[in-house]
Amino acid sequence: MIASTRSFAGFIFIASAIVLGAALMSQYWGGLAPCELCLKERWPWDAALAIAAIAFLLSGRVGTGLPALVLALIFTAGAALAFYHVGVEQHWFAGPSSCTTNATGAQSIDDLRKQLLATEPVLCDQIQWSLFGISLAGWNLIASAAMALCCIAAARRRA
């Protein structure tokens, strides 16, 4: 049980570190500034790093089942958030007002100036980069869903 819990936790830790590392590299070396939703999509990966590290350290005292279930919930929430972001990008859903483009209801130049100053510099509904027609939010959706399925499979195997 110790070896399988350690290997499961190690896999989750490494996969989460790779995803977060890629996000940070695209931001700091690739010049892609994250929007508000992009930053929130990193939270489940941060939580997964912490839980995987704890599960790895406690592998002699805790089995794979509980950490796998908790991680499955976290990655499912991450997939749901990524799906929402993809929907905002595709204009299926209205995004947060602070980071989406809207038709202005300004009545004066001063109103328009205030709206422009209140708008985030990176808009959540604008795709900055894509690969094979899939945005970064779309890739995060795929990765989060895959990790959730891996965690569900690990939890079922230990149940």
Dmax (CA) of the chain: 68
What does the mean pLDDT of the chain come to? 84
Range of the domain at 60: 2-158
What pLDDT does residue 131 have? 83
Dump pLDDT digits (tens) for 77-136. 999 999 999 999 888 988 777 666 555 566 677 776 776 666 557 777 777 877 898 888
Rounded CA separation 41/77 (Å): 9
Dump pLDDT digits (tens) for 18-68. 999 999 999 899 888 888 888 899 999 999 999 999 999 887 777 778 889
What pLDDT does residue 78 have? 96
What pLDDT does residue 47 have? 95
- The whole model's pTM is what? 0.78
Q: What are the angstrom distances between the C-alpha of 60 and each of 1, 8, 54, 129? A: 8, 13, 11, 43
What pLDDT does residue 116 have? 60
Rounded CA separation 24/33 (Å): 10
9/130: higher pLDDT: 9
Q: Is the pLDDT of residue 159 over 80?
A: no
Give the pLDDT band of residue 156 (cuts 50, 70, 90).
Answer: confident
What pLDDT does residue 1 have? 45
What residues contact residue 1 under an 8 Å CB cut-off, 6+ apart? 59, 63, 64
Q: Total structural domains in the chain?
A: 1
- Decide if 16 contacts 55 (C-beta within 8 A): no
Helix (H) or strand (E) holding 130: strand 130-131
Radius of gyration, CA atoms only, the chain: 19
Give the CA-trace dihedral at 98, 92, 88, 69, to 10 degrees: 120
What pLDDT does residue 108 have? 74
What pLDDT does residue 3 have? 47
The CATH number of residue 37's host domain is 1.20.1550.10
